[in-house]
Amino acid sequence: MSGSKARLQAIENVKEYQSPAAFFSATDAPGEVFGQNVFTKAVMQKRLPKPVFKSVMATIEHSKPLDPAVADTVASAMKDWALEKGATHYAHVFYPLTGLTAEKHDSFFEPGDDGGSIAEFAGKTLTQGEPDASSFPNGGLRATFEARGYTGWDVTSPAYILENPNGNTLCIPTVFVSMTGEALDHKTPLLRSQQAMAAQAKRVLKLFGHTKPDAVVSYAGAEQEYFLIDRSFVFSRPDLLNSGRTLFGAKPPKGQEFDDHYFGAIPDRVLAFMLDAERELFKLGIPAKTRHNEVAPGQFEIAPMFERSNVAADHQQLLMVTLKKVAQQHGMECLFHEKPFEGINGSGKHVNFSLGNASEGNLLLPGDTPHDNAQFLVFCAAVIRAVHQFGGLLRASVASATNDHRLGANEAPPAIISIFLGDQLTDVFDQVAKGGATASKEKGTIIIGADTLPVLPTDPGDRNRTSPFAFTGNRFEFRAPGSLQSIAGPMVTINTILAEALDHIATEIEASIAEGADFDVAVQKILEAIITDHGAVVFNGDGYSEAWQVEAEARGLLNLRTTLDALPQLVTPEAIELFSHYGVFSEREIHSRYEIALEQYALSIGVEARSTLEMAATVILPAALRYQTELATNVASLKAVGMEADSADLEGVSALIVSLRAGIAGLKAVLAHEADTVEEEASHAGHDLLPAMALVRAAADELEGLVADDLWPLPTYQEMLFIL
């Protein structure tokens, strides 16, 4: 089928599409399916001998190291449970730096002595694996002679069953490290950073009189945005297939204020999808609440309940896989790209985070007694210091070729990392800042801990959607992460920079006390110092405004517009010192991450550039030439019978064909470049490939507005966004 026929057929397919009957019967109450496929605490309690259960719980809830002696017993119970659930295989699931999820499946069954088969699953098989996996990015951490990578069970993230019509698989969340113990994945540093943050938070809690605090953990809840389009369109869009975004496409005649249209046309089909997706997520123990998002046509959002950050990160990956799978079962494609359609709002993934534990609760919850206030203010001040000092690292943690299309584009927070506190909290910190000054004259009046401190806001009343880092009542919301990325990277950064800030605070308070200061005075002193030194990062105004760009610069805040600007932040001496001091990354590891990020950036743009070239040369140019011929024939035949022929259309199309050809030739030339280093390759991708692609696209998109509709080969924005 030729291109344009394929496009028209795709539209027919969508029109005739019938939603499948829901996979679940209406009697499947959410309460009954929730966690059905998870090796939960309750399942363990039922199946494990009491001492073994207690030992595993000590690891999960109190961060005690796993006792190897119990591994065999746990493995055996897990195997029996999995076999009852129809599992034939098990897989160590890990999160390599491609950003995707990797699984290596092995069968439970091994040949027995009697010629039959026996199900084998020893403790060692549960806790450790050795996938070959040598082709995952490692940034030079693994020479070929030491190419082995190891996976190790993350006991704190529950195992689960992944269903498939052809057999179920027991999935075990794991870390992935090199033979020498270097991190090759997203989970290892996340666990390390949790530990670093927990150690410092514990010191602070002890200073506040909690003599034996539980281990503090960070919690994350991610709001995932995505687009849904009919799959029939995807098959005739090589760009969507290759790179997840459209590399061509003129804006629809009506923009994204098309809500009314879109509301009328789609709900049943999308709702059916959402219900099925939600059930699947529930089974996997992922507490999701779905809802519809009105910003762009075809765009939706799903926000699971927050969980401890490593579990949330695993669940987030699983959520993306599940949405994609269920969408396909419904004849749709779920697009997680940050900017699938130019000119239409893109997608982000807001990462909400807080920290706390079972005994103290949420440490970012402003209490209503002065004592709690002081403790809350200290944790809040830690966030302020952390974000101010390491805003560049936060920016780097969300840097990718795909997110570059969205950040700073007046639909997402700017590339400047600032904090929104809201009026009330800002006022409290203003008082703290002044408190020091008055306290010397009028001793004791505004000192923290005295009851002059106002009751803090518990209701996220005022909201600011333009801030990249906003306090929202009981948590902070990091709004810059991209919809496609794992939340692990941002959480590693948040945990680590908080570890540094809490360390600093604890050390200062301890020093003041050692010098004979009252605890309250010591707390006031450090809060005052932090707000004085780091208050510049607090900004409650409009982050999208031009004025903020200017003001931020005056305040000395970084404005790292692109990935190429942001990534070097990973390898500054301060960043290397930070990560190695808190044991999150060794210098070698952080260098490898930097290289991998550059490599991924260059690869992703390289694929797009080659796709652009191919589509322009083999799909768009031929359509334009056909139309040119049609116009030329028309002009010639009119002239042949002595009629006046207007050749303006022909000239317009011909001129654009010239531009398109020039663009194609230019891109081809730029693509021929060979780089010596990964830095050079990334820089070439950003500085040479992207502009060359833009020239091709400009001519092609203009042609789309001229070429006869029945000749145009690619599904249009209007069709993809509004026909569902």
Q: Which of Mg ion, ligand ADP, none does 190 bind, CB closer than 5 to 8 A by kind? A: none
Interatomic CA distance for residues 586 and 312, integer angstroms: 25
Give the alpha-carbon dihedral of 685, 690, 696, 702, to 10 degrees. Answer: 170
- In angstroms, give the least distance from the CB of 65 to ligand ADP: 26
Question: If binding means CB under 5 A, how many residues of this protein chain bind Mg ion?
Answer: 2
Output 478 or 712, the one with its CB closest to Mg ion: 478
Closest CA to 14 of 296, 332, 340: 332
Question: Three-state SS string across 644-663, please?
Answer: CCCCHHHHHHHHHHHHHHHH
Beta strands 419-420 and 299-304 are unpaired
Taking alpha carbons only, the member of 563, 277, 608, 221 closest to residue 403 is 563
Q: Of ligand ADP, Mg ion, none, which one sits near residue 258, judging by CB under 5 to 8 A according to partner kind?
A: none
Q: How far is the CB of 394 from Mg ion (least distance, A)?
A: 17
Q: Are 117 and 148 in contact (CB under 8 A)?
A: no
475 binds Mg ion (CB under 5 A): no
Question: Shortest gap between Cβ of 305 and ligand ADP (angstroms)?
Answer: 4
Comparing CB distances to Mg ion, the nearer of 463 and 687 is: 463
Q: Which does 242 bind (CB under 5 to 8 A by kind): Mg ion, ligand ADP, none?
A: none
Alpha-carbon span 48 to 77, nearest angstrom: 7
Select 71 or 419, whichever has its Cβ closest to ligand ADP. 419
Choose the one of ligand ADP, Mg ion, none that binds residue 35, judging by a C-beta under 5 to 8 angstroms depending on kind: none
> Which residue of the chain is nearest ligand ADP when measured via CB?
221
Nearer to ligand ADP, 354 or 611 (CB): 354
For residue 201, give every residue at least 6 positions away whose Cβ sits within 8 Å of its Cβ, in sequence order, or none: 216, 355, 363, 379, 498, 502
Kindly list the residues in this chain that would bind ligand ADP in the complex (CB under 6 A): 219-221, 223, 303-306, 352-354, 362, 474-475, 477
Q: Is residue 697 a contact partner of residue 317, using CB atoms and an 8 Å limit?
A: no
Question: What does the DSSP 8-state code read for residue 63?
Answer: -
d(CA 4, CA 60): 57
**Least separation in angstroms between CB 599 and ligand ADP:** 31
Q: Which is nearer to ligand ADP, 460 or 606 (CB)?
A: 460
The set of residues, in sequence order, having a beta carbon less than 8 Å from that of 719 and lying 6+ positions away, is 7, 10, 11, 233
The CA-based angle 77-174-390, given to 5 degrees, is 140
Site string for Mg ion, 211-250 (x = CB under 5 A): ------------x---------------------------
Question: What is the closest distance, in whole angstroms, from the C-beta atom of residue 352 to Mg ion in the complex?
Answer: 7
Q: Which distant-in-sequence residues (6+ apart) come within 8 Å of 481 by Cβ?
A: 222, 348, 349, 350, 351, 397, 398, 403, 487, 490
For position 504 contacting Mg ion by CB under 5 A, the verdict is: no
Cβ closer to ligand ADP: 46 or 291?
A: 291
Q: In whole angstroms, how close is the CB of 336 to Mg ion at the nearest point?
A: 17
CB of 307 to ligand ADP, least distance (A): 8
Q: CA geometry: angle at 701 spanning 3 and 689, to 5°? A: 100
Which of 237, 350, 475, 593 binds Mg ion (CB under 5 A)? It is 350
Q: Quick one: 81 or 469, whose CB is closer to ligand ADP? A: 469
Reading the block at residue 407, the tokens are 């950040």
Residue 231 contacts which entry, Mg ion, ligand ADP, none (Cβ below 5-8 A, type-dependent): none
Q: How far is the CB of 542 from ligand ADP (least distance, A)?
A: 18
Output the smallest distance, CB 306 to ligand ADP, in A.
Answer: 3
Instruction: Choose between 124 and 291: whose C-beta lies nearer to Mg ion.
Output: 291
Distance, CA of 159 to chain centre? 22
> If contact means CB under 5 to 8 A according to the sort of partner, which of Mg ion, ligand ADP, none does residue 305 touch?
ligand ADP
Cβ-based nearer residue to Mg ion, 375 or 483: 483
State how far the Cα of 68 lies from the Cα of 475, in Å rounded to an integer: 36
Segment interacting with Mg ion (CB under 5 A) among 344-352, 376-384, 392-400, 667-675: 344-352
Q: Is the dihedral of CA 142, 147, 152, 158 positive or negative?
A: positive
- Least distance from ligand ADP to the Cβ atom of residue 461, Å: 12
**Hey, is 369 helix, strand or coil?**
coil
At its nearest, how many Å lie between ligand ADP and the CB of residue 82?
Answer: 29
Smaller CB distance to Mg ion: residue 249 or 481?
481
Q: Which is nearer to ligand ADP, 157 or 474 (CB)?
A: 474
Nearest to 543 by CA among 396, 417, 394: 417
User: Nearest 5°: CA angle at 507, between 504 and 513?
Assistant: 140
Task: Determine how many CB atoms are found less than 10 A away from the CB of residue 639.
Answer: 12
Site residues (CB under 5 A) for Mg ion? 223, 350
